[in-house]
């Protein structure tokens, strides 16, 4: 049995920031979740459709693991990433740092985790692992999933090896701080500007504010798109709002990040961005509720209302980012 000492198994709202929080706290850097999310330029939007999907995927963040890479680069952290197709090597990549006293981050498909409440394949899930015994892995997941949790080693191996959209090849990672103190306050404004630039200059129409506009046009068609609207629409809404893929969660995190920036840095631009993202967070929650209501009531008219709110959100978020990119 191996248990890493000094780990605080604190589950947060988002899986990747939860894992980052565990690893960084163990190294001696304790940042609130909104700062982890904002410094990693985690906010984005993607509308992604595929023939095998019950309804399209609506994502409100950058692609899995990009936030971690962004944060490590910005704060000059040493990010060590390992991937392999070998089950044996995959386990050794995890066991070695754990045995040496360091927690490890894992990207995996949450479908195979024993404790996961919603059995849906999602290959971009991230957890922190801080120990194991002969049967179980000791993990830290989001507060919604239980925070300090365990799952069987066999299921964990399947979760790490799963192939499909957003999956990685048994990806594991560790983080180390630089020798000098991390002056994260100096990176707030550049992080805001970089996030705004990426959001406004997204290369395809499925991303950024143009992606939200596309979702506005497409969501009203989901009733005919779904195989079973009464099942698929509430499930999509659940993932958006509680799973965090595209609902109010990431906008609320970014709202709180901008509030912290406004307090620490000041400036009308940050206050305006904060106000607009506070409005956006509430509207995203309303969108999710309308999508769920369409499925539960059997009335596709709620999807048209959701589309109208999404048109407003495309405008609101574009206006916010146009202000934030002007920060100096």
**SS3 per-residue string spanning 265-313:** CCCHHHHHHHHHHHHHHHHHHHHHHHHHHHHHHCCCHHHHHHHHHHHHH
Confidence bin at 244 (pLDDT 50/70/90): low
Tell me: do 212 and 168 sit in the same domain: no
Mean pLDDT of 72-88: 97
Tell me: do 193 and 101 sit in the same domain: no
* pLDDT tens readout for residues 248-279: 889 999 999 999 999 999 999 999 999 999 99
Distance CA 90, CA 168 (A): 12
Tell me: do 214 and 261 sit in the same domain: yes
Residue 246's pLDDT is what?
A: 67
- Position 246 in a domain: yes
Tell me: do 198 and 131 sit in the same domain: no
Tell me: do 24 and 162 sit in the same domain: yes
- Position 67 in a domain: no
Confidence bin at 85 (pLDDT 50/70/90): very high
Identify the domain boundary among 176, 202, 217. Answer: 176
Tell me: do 193 and 301 sit in the same domain: yes
Residue 135's pLDDT is what?
A: 97
Identify the domain boundary among 153, 176, 199. Answer: 176
pTM: 0.95
- Position 50 in a domain: no
- As for how many domains the chain has, the answer is 2
Tell me: do 133 and 205 sit in the same domain: no
- Position 45 in a domain: no
Identify the domain boundary among 148, 176, 204. Answer: 176
Tell me: do 143 and 201 sit in the same domain: no
Top-confidence residue, 153 or 328? 153
- Position 303 in a domain: yes
Structural domain for 156, as ranges: 2-30+78-176
* pLDDT tens readout for residues 189-212: 999 999 999 999 999 999 999 999
Top-confidence residue, 246 or 185? 185
Mean pLDDT of 133-157: 96
Q: Is the pLDDT of residue 300 over 80?
A: yes
Confidence bin at 57 (pLDDT 50/70/90): confident
Q: Is the pLDDT of residue 243 over 70?
A: no
Tell me: do 92 and 199 sit in the same domain: no
Residue 165's pLDDT is what?
A: 85
Tell me which of 58-67, 115-124, 312-321 is least confident: 115-124
User: Which residue is listed with tokens 């936030």?
Assistant: 67
Tell me: do 145 and 237 sit in the same domain: no
Confidence bin at 238 (pLDDT 50/70/90): confident
Q: Is the pLDDT of residue 1 over 80?
A: yes
Residue 82 sits in a domain whose CATH number is 3.90.70
- Position 53 in a domain: no
- Position 244 in a domain: yes
Tell me: do 166 and 216 sit in the same domain: no
Mean pLDDT of 37-65: 91
Neighbours of 164 (CB within 10 A): 11
- Position 66 in a domain: no
* pLDDT tens readout for residues 3-37: 999 999 999 999 999 999 999 999 999 999 999 99
Q: What is the b/e burial string over 74-101, where b = at least 16 CB atoms within 10 angstroms of the residue's CB?
A: bbebebebbebeeeeebbebbeebbeee
**Whole-number average pLDDT of the chain:** 95
Tell me: do 224 and 273 sit in the same domain: yes
Residue 172's pLDDT is what?
A: 98
């Amino acid at each position: 049995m191996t248990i890493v000492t000094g780990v605080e198994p604190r589950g947060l709202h988002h899986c990747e920031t939860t894992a980052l929080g565990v690893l960084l706290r163990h190294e001696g850097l304790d940042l609130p979740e909104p700062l982890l999310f904002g410094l990693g330029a985690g906010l984005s939007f993607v509308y992604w459709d595929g023939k095998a999907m019950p309804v399209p995927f609506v994502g409100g963040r950058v692609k899995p693991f990009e936030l971690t890479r962004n944060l490590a680069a910005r704060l000059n952290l040493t990010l060590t990433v390992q991937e392999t197709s070998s089950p044996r090597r995959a386990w050794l990549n995890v066991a070695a740092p754990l045995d040496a006293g360091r927690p490890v981050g894992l990207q995996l498909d949450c479908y195979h985790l024993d404790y996961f409440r919603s059995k849906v394949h999602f290959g971009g899930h991230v957890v922190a692992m801080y120990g194991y015994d002969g049967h179980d892995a000791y993990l830290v997941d989001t507060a919604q999933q239980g925070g300090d949790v365990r799952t069987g080693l066999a299921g964990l191996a399947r979760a790490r090896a799963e192939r499909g959209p957003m999956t990685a090849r048994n990806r594991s990672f560790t983080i180390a701080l630089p020798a000098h103190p991390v002056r994260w306050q100096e990176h707030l404004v550049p992080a805001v500007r970089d996030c705004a630039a990426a959001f406004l200059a997204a290369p395809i129409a499925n991303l950024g504010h143009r992606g939200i506009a596309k979702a506005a046009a497409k969501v009203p068609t989901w009733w005919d798109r779904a195989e079973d609207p009464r099942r698929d629409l509430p499930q999509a809404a659940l993932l958006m709002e509680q799973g965090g893929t595209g609902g109010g969660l990431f906008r609320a995190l970014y709202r709180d990040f901008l509030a912290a920036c406004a307090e620490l840095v000041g400036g009308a631009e940050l206050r305006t961005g904060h106000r607009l993202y506070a409005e956006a967070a509430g509207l995203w929650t309303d969108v999710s509720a309308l999508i769920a209501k369409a499925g539960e009531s059997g009335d596709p008219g709620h999807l048209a209302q959701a589309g109208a709110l999404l048109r407003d959100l495309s405008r609101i978020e574009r206006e916010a980012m146009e202000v934030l990119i002007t920060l100096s």
